[in-house]
Amino acid sequence: MRWFVTGSEGQLGSALRQRLSAAGESFFGKDLELDVADAGAVRRELERLPGGPPDLLVNAAALTHVDRCEAEPELARRINAEAPAGLARLCGELGVRFVHISTDYVFDGEARAPYPVDAEARPTSVYGETKWQGERDVRALAPDALIVRTSWVFGRGRNFVAAVLAQADQVARAGKGQLRVVDDQRGRPTYALDLAEAIRLLVDAGHTGVFHVANDGEATWWDVARAALDHAGHAEVPIERIGTPSLSLPAPRPSYSVLDLSKAREAGVPMRPWQQALRAYLESADSPLDRAA
């Protein structure tokens, strides 16, 4: 199968390249150099591929900086809502299967049990609202699309785990200080390589509709930070537990965004515990750890 991925240099895009190449699939992609909201530009890109348009397009492009979305709502709407609609319409015209990546931020965080795929979406931020609008438009324009919601992704490039480890290195070198990490948000961390493999399995099986995909288990950001530091040899670096309100962030965060994985499990998608996935990431070639130290 010939795959085309928007956002190809991001965490998921990079992971898809690795997984698909290992599986012998053909991978094509573009990152920031392609305006995903310009349907004409995307059409030209797809039509000039060797062999013409691909068999499948994965939209992994998004404006995911939630606070920037609050400051630039029109940009967020263009990338997170208008672009997916245009891509869905274009894929229908070209006969290309469409996979769209969405987020746990479509939920308000008021639940206290994992959100099933058919739970009511009630986003509380510009990011969540624009991603939800994108989902709705994709469903209307491409009923046979596969929509994958995920959460708390880490992998190659910039991410929470890499940022925490960089801060821990500074504290360790200084010999004093501590980190401060929120402990009142609960979700499912997700390794980008595991997410990419899950998407490949769902596509190979011909699944459509909405699926929740994340690593198994629940955690707070403090839990993830503590596990990362302990594995990285920074067990001595203390982490203060803080509440989200103390950060005075522009965008609200869902306090509970644990996704129900039962539909994906029934489809045969294995997702290992997040602790195992985190260790695999920290021991991989994409790890932010300085192996020369």
Domain positions in the chain = 2-155+189-216+257-273
pLDDT value of position 124? 98
| Alpha helical stretches, state H, the chain | 11-22, 39-47, 66-71, 73-77, 83-94, 126-141, 160-174, 192-204, 221-231, 262-266, 274-282
CATH 3.10.20.30 for domain 2-155+189-216+257-273 = no
**In whole angstroms, what is the distance from residue 16 CA to residue 156 CA?**
11
pTM over 0.85: yes
Element holding 2 (H helix, E strand): strand 2-6
CB-based contact 188:217 (threshold 8 Å): yes
Residue 137 CA: distances (Å) to CA of 132, 141, 176, 275: 9, 6, 51, 35
Q: How far apart are the first and last CA of the chain?
A: 42
Mean pLDDT by 10 residues, the chain (293 residues): 97 97 96 96 97 98 98 98 98 98 98 98 98 98 98 96 96 91 98 98 98 98 98 95 97 98 96 98 92 47
Residue 111 CA: distances (Å) to CA of 107, 122, 150: 9, 11, 17
pLDDT value of position 292? 43
Q: Tokens 């070198």 identify what position?
A: 173
Nearest Cα to Cα of residue 287 among 169, 153, 181, 165: 165
User: CB-based contacts of 139: which residues, under 8 Å, 6+ apart?
Assistant: 145, 147
Sign of CA dihedral 29, 209, 193, 223: positive
Distance of CA 292 to the CA centre of its chain: 29
Q: What share of the chain is helix, strand, coil (3-state, %, to 5)?
A: 45, 15, 40
**In whole angstroms, what is the distance from residue 145 CA to residue 101 CA?**
11
> Would you please indicate which residues are annotated as catalytic (active-site) residues?
127
Instruction: Give tens-digit pLDDT for 173-217.
Output: 898 889 999 999 999 999 999 999 999 999 999 999 999 999 999
